Amino acid sequence: MKMKDIPFGITEWDSIEKTEHKGDTGKAFWRTRQFGDIRVRMVEYTPGYLADHWCAKGHILLCLEGELHTELDDGRTFTLTPGVSYQVADDAEKHRSSTKKGAMLFIVD
C-alpha cells in the first residue's frame, strides 16, 4: 500500500454517519472515510454478530473494545481483545468475523 495525496487531517468519528450492514446474525455499523484507494473504518459489531460472507480483502484491524473471533477458511481461529490487532493481505487467507459480546474495531483496508 502506498499512501499518497492525503493531506494532514483529523477525523471526528462520532460525526461520521453510520451505515448498517447485516450479518447472518447481528449487525455491523460502519463509519467510513475514503482516502484515495485506502478505506478507513470504525466498525461496531452487535452481540451475536456473525459475518454473512468469507472475506478475501486485506485488512489491518485493531480491536478497541469487546472481543472479536476471526476464523480462517483453513479452520484456524483467533480471538482479538482490546489492544490486539491482525493483518492479512488481499487474497491471502479468507476469513470471517463473529462476536458473542460485541466489538468495536478500527480497520484500514
For the chain, give every domain's residue range: 19-108
Q: What is the pLDDT of residue 40?
A: 97
* Distance from C-alpha of 50 to C-alpha of 95, rounded to nearest angstrom: 12
Q: Which residues contact 102 (CB under 8 A, 6 or more apart)?
A: 44, 45, 46, 47, 49, 65, 66
* Distance from C-alpha of 29 to C-alpha of 22, rounded to nearest angstrom: 9
Q: Scan for cell 478497541, then name that residue.
A: 64
Q: What is the pLDDT of residue 41?
A: 98
Mean pLDDT by groups of 10 residues along the chain of 109 residues: 88 97 98 95 98 95 98 97 97 96 97
Class for the domain spanning 19-108: mainly beta
pTM, rounded to two decimals: 0.93
> What does the buried/exposed string (b/e) look like for 37-65 if buried means 16 or more CB atoms within 10 Å of the residue's CB?
eeebbbbbbbeebbbeeebeeebebbbee
Q: Is the dihedral of CA 28, 15, 67, 92 positive or negative?
A: positive
